[in-house]
Copies of this chain bind each other. A is one copy, B any other.
Amino acid sequence: MVASSAAPVPAGATIYSVAEAAGVSIATVSRVVQGSAAVSERTRDKVLAAIQHLDYTPHAAARSLAVRQHEALGLVLPELDGPYFSELLMGFEEAAAEDGLSVLLSLADHDRTLSVERFTRLAAGVDGIAVLGGIVPDEALRRTARTKPLLVVAGAQTPGVDRLTAENVTSSTELTAHLLDDHGRSRPVFVGDPDIAPDVRERHVGFVRALEARGVEAGEPVRVGLREADGVVAVERLLADGLPTDALVCANDEIALAVTDRLAAAGHRVPDDLAVTGWDDIMAARYVRPGLTTVQQPVRELGALVARRLHARVSGLATEPSAVLATRVVRRGSCGCPEPGRDAGPR
C-alpha cells in the first residue's frame, strides 16, 4: 500500500473564478455570498451554481483584510491539565462560535509562561484577546490592551487592564473557617505557592485572613506547584517537619488528591488525623473516598462571559472593567463532614 498523500492541491476557487464561471462581476458574487444587497433571482442562481460547482469558499484572510476585522478571538491558557481550563475553553469557544467568531488558542509552557513574541503574534491575528492571569507579563498586556480589547482571566487586578475572575478570597476564608470552627482544627497549613498564580495568591490571602480573625498564627505555606506530583512533594516536606498540622488547605484538587494518597501511604488517615481540602471540584473529587471537600467555580460561565465581553468590546460597546463570579464551597468527607453515603454520582 502506502499511496503516500501529497495531492497537488487544486488552486482553490476565488471570487474571480466564480464570477467568470457565472458570467457576472465579482461584486455580484460578493453580494450573493454576503446576502447583502439585492440580486435578481436569476443571477443569484447562476452564481450559486458556480459556487457549488467550483466549491468556492471566501478566503478568510482576504476577507479579514477587507472588512478590517479578524472575526476571531484569542485565548491564552496554561497547560490544560485539570478540567478547569478545559471548561473555561469550552465556555469561551461556545460563546465565540455563537457570535460567529473563531478561536485562536495559545498554550503556555510547563512553567506557565508564554513568550511575548508568541503573545504578540497571537494578538496580531485577533480582534480581542483573553489571557489567563500570570502567563504574560503585565507590560506586554498593557501594551496590547492599548490597541485592542484585552481581558485578564483569573488574574490579579492590574491598572489599565480589564479583569474577569471567580471569587477566591472570601471562599477561602469560608473554607478555612469551616475547618477551624466546625471541625476544631487548630493548625491548618496552606499547600500551594501564592507566587505561582494570582488566584493561588488570593486563596492564600483568604486562608490567612480566617486564621488571623481567630488569632491563630498562619505559618509559611508549603510552596509547591499545582500538579499531582507537587502534592507528593508537599507531604514529604511536611513529614520531614514532623507533620506539624491537622488540616491541609490545598491550592487545587490535584494537589489535594495526591496529598491524601501520600498521607495514607504514610499511615495518616483523612479526615481523622488530618483534614484535607482542594479547589475546583474536579471529577475525581467526587469519586474518591472520602469525598474531597473543595470549592466549585462557575468556570464554563466564566469562559463564556469572557468571550461575550470581548465581543462586546470589539463591537465598540463599553463594558465594566471587571467582574467577579461567585463560587461555592462543597463539603464532602475530607474535611470531616459526614459523607452522604455512596451516592456521589454525576452532578
Contacts and interface: CB of A to CB of B under 8 A. Distances in A.
Interface of A: 1-7, 9-10, 12, 55, 57-62, 64-65, 70, 72, 79-81, 83, 85-87, 89-90, 93-94, 97, 102-107, 118, 120-125, 143, 145-149, 162, 227-229, 231-232, 254, 257-258, 261-262, 264-265, 282-284, 287-289, 313, 316-321, 341-346
Contact of A287 (B58, B149, B261, B344): B261
Given A61-B65, A147-B12, A343-B265, A106 B106 contact: no
A61 B64 contact: yes
A2 B229 CA distance: 42
Contacts of A345: 228, 232, 258, 261-262
A106 B93 contact: yes
A233 to B, nearest CB: 10
A90 B97 contact: no
Contacts of A341: 265
A328 to B, nearest CB: 19
A344 B97 CA distance: 40
Contacts of A123: 57
A132 to B, nearest CB: 14
Contact of A124 (B60, B87, B319): B60
Contact of A229 (B80, B94, B346): B346
A57 to B, nearest CB: 5
B61 A90 contact: no
Interface centre among A107, A145, A287, A344 (most CB of B within 10 A): A287
A29 to B, nearest CB: 15
B65 A90 contact: no
A44 to B, nearest CB: 18
A62 B232 CA distance: 50
Contact of A7 (B4, B64, B146): B146
